[in-house]
Each structure stands twice: as structure tokens, then as C-alpha cells.
Amino acid sequence: MLGYLAKRLGYYVVMLLVAVGLSYALASTSLNPRANFEGRSPRPSPASVTRQLDDLGVNPDTPLADRFGTWVGHLAHGNLGQTINNTPVTDEFKNRVLISLRLLVVGTILGTVCGILLGAWTATRQYKFSDRAAAGLSFLVMSIPTFVLALFATIFATGLNTWTGHQIINFTGQSTPGLSGGFFTHLGDSLVHLILPTLTIGLMLIASYSRYQRNTMLDVLGSDYLRTARAKGLPYRKALFKHGLRTALIPMSTFFAYGFLGLLTGATFTELIFGWHGMGEWLVNSINQNDVNSVVAYSLFAAVMVLIAGFLSDILHAALDPRVRHA
């Protein structure tokens, strides 16, 4: 198992390097940092613009390979370069990454667990009312783009707040600015702000995971070994969870790896709509400001997240499937 995982990890590291190199090349060729400086007032002289571009390592006149070499050299020292406003990219990264991870991790865990349970449950109740209702709702949610789902959530919360006359659900930003109070007041405030974005992400995941889990579970439910397990006297619930769900989760691990791309994009949209100062907002601002180094930092974040998800799904696959483990 360790050999298999080591091989996968090696592949992911290669993938990460190529992906980051590719995004560096893309960002460097398509963004125009000079435009940012030339748009400032008073307009700086061309010579000073060139000097600043050189300092940032984003001068389009320097060959791309040289720029990339310098950037990699900095990266080796844990330095991601300077933003276009001459602040360290690493600082910005640290400020924002936890905000994004909070949503991503809480949303993923909630969505995956609920989705799998819902899928497994509806599979045991095939064609009954609950199964049909879950199928219909999942279908509807899957047809709503994430950003529209997030917008619906904000409109719903605004309506609720006006209707009751109280700010029941605060949803702008990741916390209320200037809130006074102790640790628990702040914690409570953060949790309230988490509700809608997490629900948006969670619903999106529950809808797709439950459908998929239901299908894999149905395949398992009709299998001979589950009948054997029941025939030798195992209680239904035990047979279902120990023999059924475990096998039905194996295809899910692959689905999880692919689904994560959509999740990451969805979380970015959700953050933006709820006004969180996370990685998504940074990406959009950086592209609009032609900030090459920040865009590359976001790409690094995205690639690392996707590959971690891929690796987790490999671990899960190996843990669930002895054929992989002992191969």
C-alpha cells in the first residue's frame, strides 16, 4: 500500500510542478502589469515603471524562462514574490487561505457525509416516496449554477431579515466588522456567517454525491455477497454498513477526486457572492489589476488543493479496496 501511495504522490508532485509552470506562463503572457502602473495618477515615467516591473520580476521584456527561474529561486526560500502593490504575496496568502479553507473544509465534510448517507438511505428505499423526493430535489439543485444558488440564499436571507425585522442571518463577509464582545460572541458571529455559504456548498455536494452514491449502492444491494452475508445471519443494518456501504464507497473515491474541481470553483463563487475576503476575491482582484505574482499564488493554491483531494481519494481507495492495497 505504501509503495502504491508513494508512486501516486510522486506523480502528483510532477503534476504540481508542471501545472504551476503552466499557470506561470499563462499569467505572465496574458496579464499586462504595465497597464496597472500606467493607469495610476500621476502617471509614472516609463523608466520608473520598467524599474518597478523589474523589481517585481514581471517585466514582459525579460525572457519568460528568466522570470520563471527567478520566481522558482524565490519560491525555494518560501517567498512567493511581491504583489503589484509591493506587499509580500506570502502575507496576503496567509491572510486569505484560512478563510477559504474554513468554507472548503466545513462544506466538504458536511456535503460528503450527508450526501453519502442520503444516497445510501434512498437506495434502500428505491422508488418509494422519499427516494423520489430526494431525486427530484437533487435534480433541481444540480440544475442551479452555484453562483445563482448563492444569490438565491442571500435573497432568501434578506427577505427573512426584513420580514422578521431582525438581523437573524448575517451573511455579508466572514464576520461582522467592529463587533465587541468576548471570544464566544465572535465565535457565534463567525458561525452565523458560515451558515449560508456552507449551506450553498453543502447542498451542491449533497445533490450530486447522493445521486452517485445511490447508484453504486443499488449495484451492491443486488449482489450475491450481500445476500450471503444476510443468509449467514448478519443483521440487515450490519450487513448493509460492513459489506454494502464499504464496497459502494470505492467508486465514490474516484468521483470525489473529479468532483473536487467543481467544488473548488463553486467555493470560489460562493465566497465572492458572500463578500468573503478569501482566495477567490483575491484571484478576481489580481486578474483585474494584472497582478501576475498573486495570480500564480492562487494557481499554486488551487493545484495543491486539487492534488491533495486526489491523494486523499487514493488513500481512501487503497483503504477500502484490498486489491489495490495488496497489488
Residue from 37, 68, 282, 298 binding another protein (CB under 8 A): 298
Report in angstroms how near the CB of residue 299 gets to another protein at its nearest.
6
CA distance 179 to 166: 17
Is 13 or 98 the residue whose CB approaches another protein more closely? 13
Contact 212, 255 (CB under 8 A): yes
The DSSP 8-state label assigned to residue 291 in this structure reads -
CA distance 191 to 198: 10
Residues in the interface with another protein (CB under 8 A) total 52
Contact flag: residue 126 with another protein (CB under 8 A): yes
Q: How remote is the C-alpha of 239 from its chain's centroid?
A: 34
Binding mask 63-102 for another protein (x = CB under 8 A): ----------------------------------------
Site for another protein in 195-234 (CB under 8 A): 215, 218-219, 221-222
Contact 95, 188 (CB under 8 A): no
User: Which part of the chain contacts another protein (CB under 8 A), choosing from 17-25, 56-64, 181-189, 311-319?
Assistant: 17-25
Peptide bond into 42 cis (omega under 30): yes
CA distance 258 to 194: 25
Residue from 38, 258, 322, 327 binding another protein (CB under 8 A): 258
Spatial neighbors of 68 by CB under 8 A, at least 6 apart, are 21, 24, 25, 28
Grid coordinates representing 60 are 514582459
The DSSP 8-state label assigned to residue 44 in this structure reads P
Contact flag: residue 268 with another protein (CB under 8 A): yes
Residue from 9, 16, 192, 324 binding another protein (CB under 8 A): 16
Q: List contacts with another protein (CB under 8 A).
A: 15-16, 18-19, 22-23, 26-27, 29-32, 126-127, 139-140, 142-148, 151-152, 155, 158-159, 215, 218-219, 221-222, 258, 261, 264-265, 268-269, 272, 283-284, 287-288, 290, 295, 298-299, 302-303, 306-307
